[in-house]
Homo-oligomer: A and B are copies of this chain.
Amino acid sequence: VTSAELKTIAAGDPLAGMGPAARRAFEAVSAATPQARTSALKAMAAAVRAHASAILAANAEDVAAARESGLSDAKTDRLLLDPKRLEGVAAAVDLIAAQDDPVGAEIARWARPNGLDIARVRTPIGVVAMIYESRPNVTADAAALCLRSGNAVILRGGKEAQHSNAAIHAALADGLRKAGLPEAAIQLVASPDRALVGRLLAGLDGAIDLIIPRGGKTLVARVNAEARVPVFSHEEGINHVYVHAAADPQKAVAIALNSKLRRTSVCGAAETLLIDAAVAPTLLPPIAKALVDAGCELRGDTRAREIASAMKPAIEADWDTEYLDAILSVRVVDGLDAAVAHIARHGSSHTDTIVTEDKVAAEAFLKRVDSAIVLWNASTQFADGGEFGMGAEIGIATGRLHARGPVGAEQLTTFKYVVRGTGQVRP
Residue in B closest to A209 when the chains form the complex, CB atoms: B400
Set of chain B residues within 8 Å of A375, measured between Cβ atoms = 419-421
User: What is the oligomeric copy number?
Assistant: 2
Verify B425–A373 contact, CB threshold 8 A. Answer: no
The winner among A30, A259, A375, A381 for most chain B CB atoms within 10 A is A375
Residue in B closest to A382 when the chains form the complex, CB atoms: B426
Verify B104–A262 contact, CB threshold 8 A. Answer: no
- CB-contact partner of A387 in B250, B401, B404, B426, under 8 A: B426
Asked if A86 CB lies within 8 Å of chain B CBs, one says no
Verify A417–B405 contact, CB threshold 8 A. Answer: yes
Verify B414–A400 contact, CB threshold 8 A. Answer: yes
Verify B382–A116 contact, CB threshold 8 A. Answer: yes
Verify A426–B381 contact, CB threshold 8 A. Answer: yes
Looking at chain A's contact residues, the main secondary structure is: mixed
Asked if A219 CB lies within 8 Å of chain B CBs, one says no
Cα distance, A281 to B167, chains bound together (Å): 58
Q: Identify which of A118-126, A129-137, A139-147, A185-193 touches chain B.
A: A118-126
Cα distance, A375 to B424, chains bound together (Å): 10
Cα distance, A373 to B210, chains bound together (Å): 21
Asked if A374 CB lies within 8 Å of chain B CBs, one says yes
Cα distance, A116 to B374, chains bound together (Å): 12
Verify A376–B421 contact, CB threshold 8 A. Answer: yes
Set of chain B residues within 8 Å of A401, measured between Cβ atoms = 125, 209-210, 230, 401-402, 414
Q: Identify which of A50-58, A300-308, A363-371 touches chain B.
A: A363-371
Within 8 A of B (CB), among A380-415: 381-382, 384, 387-389, 399-402, 404-405, 414-415
- CB-contact partner of A367 in B104, B126, B379, B399, under 8 A: B104
| New contact pairs (17) apart from A362-B420, A373-B417, A375-B421, CB-CB < 8 Å | A31-B368, A104-B367, A110-B389, A112-B388, A116-B382, A210-B401, A224-B228, A258-B426, A371-B416, A372-B416, A373-B416, A374-B416, A376-B418, A378-B420, A378-B425, A381-B425, A402-B402
26 pairs, CB–CB < 8 Å, chain A vs chain B? A31-B367, A31-B368, A209-B401, A210-B401, A230-B230, A230-B399, A250-B423, A251-B423, A254-B423, A255-B423, A255-B425, A258-B425, A262-B426, A366-B420, A374-B417, A377-B420, A377-B421, A377-B424, A378-B424, A378-B425, A379-B425, A379-B426, A382-B421, A401-B402, A402-B402, A405-B416
- List residues of chain A with CB under 8 Å of any chain B CB: 30-31, 104, 110, 112, 116, 118, 123, 125-126, 209-210, 224, 228, 230, 248, 250-251, 254-255, 257-259, 262, 362, 366-368, 370-379, 381-382, 384, 387-389, 399-402, 404-405, 414-426
